[in-house]
Amino acid sequence: MNNTDYIENLKRKHVRRPHKYTAENGFKPYQVEVRDDPMRAFRTLERMLKKDRVFETYKEKQYYTSPSQRRNQANKRKKRRIAEENRRREEDRRQDQ
């Protein structure tokens, strides 16, 4: 690899990438049409926000958490999910017998 190839490679690596959510990239604000029942529209909006984890990311970013804390929390969630799956499998196995 000669010097010019090396410099071109460096330039490619250090290109700033645009933010994910910008108007040019197709970011659309959350919109819900209110027809008859405003509570129905609110529930629809709330469901959309929950699906995209807006509330959860807001709560997570309120305070700093160290990388080790994030890993520990992820491991706890993983263990809990696996335990629930094992419980369901065990219940299904008992019902089948």
pLDDT at 76: 96
* Rounded Cα gap, residues 67 and 75, in angstroms: 12
pLDDT at 17: 59
Token pair of 48 as six digits: 């959309």
Spatial neighbors of 43 by CB under 8 A, at least 6 apart, are: none
pLDDT at 16: 62
pLDDT at 58: 85
**In the chain, where are the structural domains located?**
20-63, 66-97
Going residue by residue through the chain (97 aa), what tens digit of pLDDT does each one get? 677 777 777 776 666 655 555 555 556 678 889 999 999 999 999 998 888 888 888 888 899 999 999 999 999 999 999 999 999 999 988 888 7
pLDDT at 2: 73
pLDDT at 50: 87
pLDDT at 1: 60
How many Cα atoms sit within 13 Å of 2 on the Cβ side? 1
